[in-house]
Amino acid sequence: MQQRVSVRDKFKILIAAVYILCEDSSANFYVEIQINIRQGIVMTIAQRLINCSILALCIGYTATAQAQALTPLKFCYEDVAQNPWTLPNGTGLNIELLKRVEEILGERFELIPKPWKRCQEEVRNGVLDGYFGAAVSAERQQFSVYPSLPGGEVDTASALNVDHTRIFIRNNSQASWDGKNLGKISTPIVVQRGYLVGSLLEKQGYKIREVRTLEDGLKLLITEEADVAILQGIDALHMAKQDPRYKDHLQCHPLPFLSLHLYLPINQQRYQRDPKRFRAIWNAIKTVRNSSSYQQLLENAGVH
């Protein structure tokens, strides 16, 4: 004899069906649920959802989720080469890393090269969703969110890469650096435009002179317009040591001035609308960066 199902149990079944249909779009119109009814009797229920409002709600839920997943995220990066991480032509290790993140998550990214200051301003104003190749600073944290640990500290394991800033001093200059302190600086220190090191130096009371490219910075040294340049990127080191225009005129301190973790921060308002999406992206960055295939790319590029 078949046991009657109470109104309360029917309601539970219907709620379960709605949940499964909304969570799994492959369920379509039919949901099969096995539930335990009192006295241990197991019933299998195959039921067409006839409440059109519930069906419409589920379809709307699925469509919204799919549309959200397919909406491209717009991220900018500096339009000046930072070998081997980013190049204006859309190549580089960080570009490759983010393409792999796209594949893992089924995401779509628009990666847009822009002047670095403009890139940050457009993220601040909500024109773009995020920017990558960015070190942590208090100013940037006022308008953007970085990957973080449960305690609130920035998660360095979710950085895209680590890069170094180095000190370049003109040979006939009196300027010096002992690994901690700069001395006898008679001209503004040359830095790349919009970079963290510039704001740090200004807070310490130094005057700075911003340049767009590494080459612009090194030229100011050999023309004796500046005594010291603090520049980020391996290309500056290579030029100073190998380029005949610079190698006999400059010295580069063997120790980095700063070593910086560089991230993909997200506009605060954009992050608040969909935090799970961006946390998944940061977790995927961590996964790709630690993968053996990506580690091989780093090795091939001479990155240690």
pLDDT of the residue at 179? 86
* Domain 163-259 listed as CATH 3.40.190.10: yes
**CB distance 62 to 54 below 8 Å:** no
Q: What is the pLDDT of residues 160-209, one digit of tens each?
A: 999 999 999 999 999 999 888 899 999 999 999 999 999 999 999 999 99
Pick the CATH number of 71-160+263-300 from 3.90.76.10, 3.50.50.60, 3.40.50.2000, 3.40.190.10: 3.40.190.10
Which residues, 6+ apart, have CB-to-CB distance to 194 below 8 Å? 115, 116, 117, 120, 210
Q: What is the pLDDT of residues 31-69, one digit of tens each?
A: 333 333 333 333 333 343 333 333 333 334 333 444 455
- pTM for the complete prediction? 0.76
- According to CATH, where is 3.40.190.10 located in the chain? 71-160+263-300, 163-259
pLDDT < 50 stretches in the chain: 1-3, 5, 7-67
Residue 297 — left, alpha, or beta (φ > 0 → left; ψ -120 to 50 → alpha)?
A: alpha
**CB distance 187 to 227 below 8 Å:** yes
3-class secondary structure, 198 = helix
In Å, how far are 87, 116, 148 from 79, measured between CA atoms? 7, 7, 27
